């Protein structure tokens, strides 16, 4: 129980929760599996970014979260 997944903005409603705790390590396939089908579909879109340990990943499919890391799912920011 050592990786925390945080859902931001509208993804929070899609997930039905603010955050999830899962066991380390967590990779891209693991994230898609635990995120739920609605969030997983959005995660596959290029518009949703993933941060791990405070850094936005250039290639989110290379995610490799270790014990104690926070993984943030970042939907597109709002305009207006």
Binding site for another protein (CB under 8 A): 6, 8-10, 47, 51, 54, 56, 70, 72, 74-80
Return the number of other C-beta atoms located less than 10 Å from residue 19's C-beta.
15
Report the residue number, 15 or 72, with the smaller CB distance to another protein.
72
Nearest distance from C-beta of residue 56 to another protein, angstroms: 7
Q: Comparing C-alpha atoms, which of 41, 37, 50 is closest to residue 5?
A: 50
Is 14 within 8 Å of 38 (Cβ atoms)? yes
Nearest distance from C-beta of residue 50 to another protein, angstroms: 11
């Amino acid at each position: 129980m050592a990786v925390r997944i945080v859902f931001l903005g509208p993804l929070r409603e899609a997930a039905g929760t603010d955050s999830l705790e899962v066991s380390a390590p967590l990779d891209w396939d693991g994230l898609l599996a635990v995120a739920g089908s609605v969030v997983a579909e959005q995660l596959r879109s290029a518009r949703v970014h993933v941060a791990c340990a405070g850094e936005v990943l250039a290639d989110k499919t290379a995610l490799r979260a270790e014990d104690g890391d926070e993984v943030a799912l970042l939907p597109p920011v709002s305009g207006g």
